[in-house]
Amino acid sequence: MADNYNNAVTLAYQIIGSQEPWRHPSSNIIHHRVLPNATFAPWLTDHEFLSCYEKIKGHSLVDHYRCYELWTLAKQLNNVEGNILEVGVWRGGSGALLAQAVKDSGKQVFLADTFSGVVKAGDRDTNYKGGEHADTSVEIVSALMESLPIRNIKLLKGIFPEETQHMIEGKISMLHCDVDVYSSTKDIVGWCLPRLSVGSVLVFDDYGFFGCEGVTAFCEEFRKRDEFRFIHNLNGHAVFIKIA
Ligand SMILES: C[S@@+](CC[C@H](N)C(=O)[O-])C[C@H]1O[C@@H](n2cnc3c(N)ncnc32)[C@H](O)[C@@H]1O
């Protein structure tokens, strides 16, 4: 682990620039400040997105870069069979955004959360211990949906997949997985795999975030699969597109 880190420090100075990389003491995942140079900002001229984002941002931990990516990906699913599943809803912000993006498509958006916080934290996770983000409820999310108003959602309360998988039928065209830890992510993807349409999209929040090394570790394993294209979007999303 130390060699891996020391090599990264040397290469960062020699090739990339002068700033030193860092890592969590219990992980070999290397972090370095990410500052993309491109400045195009299409979210500032997408008025439908902005109007929705303004209403949901107080209910979300997801920043506008990632919200805009969810928005644009969801809007590209018209020819992909299946509904949308978000696991990791918290106060409903990103879920509301997804539902608004596909409101005229006939797609249902399933929003799954324990509503009592993160579960299945384990050895692969660094900062998460379990129980985080419990400061929400079905009532808080329902009130947000009613205020927008959004009708094409179904809330699933309980650990996914174990406790609520039976409430979903048919294919999946998009998974937004925002559960912070390795084992939950792995179990959710395992459930989705046989249900994914070709062309479906998997978006993993927290990819690359310091403190969420379990999610990054899962995505680094998953990207070895041939049936998906993988995109490391520098905003903190890992995006996979099913091609076969
Ligand atoms: C970071 S929050 C989600 C943030 C949300 N997407 C937003 O827009 O701010 C993570 C959520 O994942 C939920 N969670 C984690 N593992 C889960 C699992 N296996 N099943 C259901 N919910 C889970 C937690 O209860 C928590 O509310």
Q: Is the CB of 203 inside a 6 Å radius of any atom of ligand 1?
A: no
- 136: Cα separation from own chain's centroid: 18
pLDDT range class, residue 11, cuts 50, 70, 90: confident
Residues 127 and 237 in one domain: yes
Report the atom number in ligand 1 closest to the C-alpha of 163. Answer: 20
The total number of structural domains that make up the chain: 2
Residues 70 and 152 in one domain: yes
Give all strands of the β-sheet with 153-157 in edge-to-edge order.
Answer: 153-157, 109-113, 83-87, 172-177, 196-204, 237-242, 228-233
pLDDT range class, residue 139, cuts 50, 70, 90: very high
pLDDT for position 13: 79
CA distance 17 to 78: 43
Residues 29 and 50 in one domain: no
183 alpha carbon – ligand 1 mean position (Å):
13
Take atom 12 of ligand 1 and give the residue whose Cα is closest. 88
For residue 85, give the 3-state DSSP assignment: strand
Average pLDDT for 105-109: 97
For residue 30, give the 3-state DSSP assignment: coil
The DSSP string of 104-137 is TTT--EEEEE-SS------TT-SS--S-TT----
Rg (CA), the chain: 18
CA distance 21 to 14: 12
10 alpha carbon – ligand 1 mean position (Å):
37
184 alpha carbon – ligand 1 mean position (Å):
10
Q: Write the CATH number for 101.
A: 3.40.50.150
Percentage with pLDDT > 70 across the chain: 98
Q: Select from 189, 171, 170 the least CA-distant residue to 179.
A: 189
CA distance 31 to 234: 12
Average pLDDT for 135-150: 97
60 alpha carbon – ligand 1 mean position (Å):
11
Burial of 66 (0-12, 13-18, 19+ CB in 10 A): buried
pTM over 0.75: yes
Domain of 13 in residue numbering reads as: 1-33
133 alpha carbon – ligand 1 mean position (Å):
7
Residues 106 and 68 in one domain: yes
Quote the crossing angle between the two packed helices 47-56 and 93-101, to the nearest 10°: 150
Q: Is the CB of 160 inside a 6 Å radius of any atom of ligand 1?
A: yes
Residues 110 and 5 in one domain: no
48 alpha carbon – ligand 1 mean position (Å):
26
Instruction: List the structure tokens of 106.
Output: 């006939």
Q: Is the CB of 61 inside a 6 Å radius of any atom of ligand 1?
A: yes
Q: Is the CB of 118 inside a 6 Å radius of any atom of ligand 1?
A: yes
pLDDT for position 93: 98
Asked if residue 122 lies in contact with residue 26, where contact means CB atoms within 8 angstroms, the answer is no
Whether 1 shows a pLDDT value over 70: the answer reads no
Q: Is the CB of 214 inside a 6 Å radius of any atom of ligand 1?
A: no
pLDDT tens for each residue of 48-98: 999 999 999 999 999 999 999 999 999 999 999 999 999 999 999 999 999
Residues 6 and 48 in one domain: no
Q: Is the CB of 113 inside a 6 Å radius of any atom of ligand 1?
A: yes
pLDDT tens for each residue of 187-237: 999 999 999 999 999 999 999 999 999 999 999 999 999 999 999 999 999
Q: Is the CB of 114 inside a 6 Å radius of any atom of ligand 1?
A: yes
